[in-house]
Amino acid sequence: MQSAPAFEGMYLHGILHRIEGDILNARAWYSDVAESDVFQEVWGDGGDGWVSFLDAIEALRRGEGERKGLREQGEEEVRKVLEWCLNKFGTDRVEDASSVWVRPSEKIKSMGEGQVTGDQQRGVF
């Protein structure tokens, strides 16, 4: 889920960080998938609306800015990603998904290990 070409999983990972309030980590994941089809479907081709969206959430968490429209925008984002996944993967039962698992690259493995031990922080690349 955390390596290309599983961009849907990577994007959902970023959304979960957004929801939990870890905006720095969400930015990193969003940045990683910004060129993917699923992300472009949600945010538009070449647009930076997602940056403004995360900026607004961050401002709100600092006690600045307005809540107006953020909840709806977040819900719409999730709805669009889920709709994308439904269209791509369907709803058929999957008995064994091992054939579609994505093995993390050595870089991703190393980054994950560094984050667990505290030797490395995830940031926007």
Q: What does the pLDDT look like over 91-114, one tens digit per residue?
A: 988 788 776 666 666 766 666 666
- Of 59 and 65, the one with more pLDDT: 59
Residue 123 near residue 17 (C-beta atoms within 8 A): no
Cα distance between residue 70 and residue 97, in whole Å: 35
Q: Of the given ranges (11-25, 36-50, 78-92, 95-109), which has the lowest mean pLDDT? A: 95-109
Q: In the predicted model, is pLDDT for residue 4 greater than 60?
A: yes
**Coil, strand, or helix at residue 8?**
helix
Taking residues 32-40, report their average pLDDT: 94
Question: To the nearest whole percent, how much of the chain has pLDDT over 90?
Answer: 55
Closest Cα to residue 35, out of 125, 120, 111? 125
Q: Where are the domains of the chain?
A: 7-117
Report, as an integer, the average pLDDT of 4-10: 86
pTM, two decimals, is 0.77
DSSP single-letter state for residue 5:
T
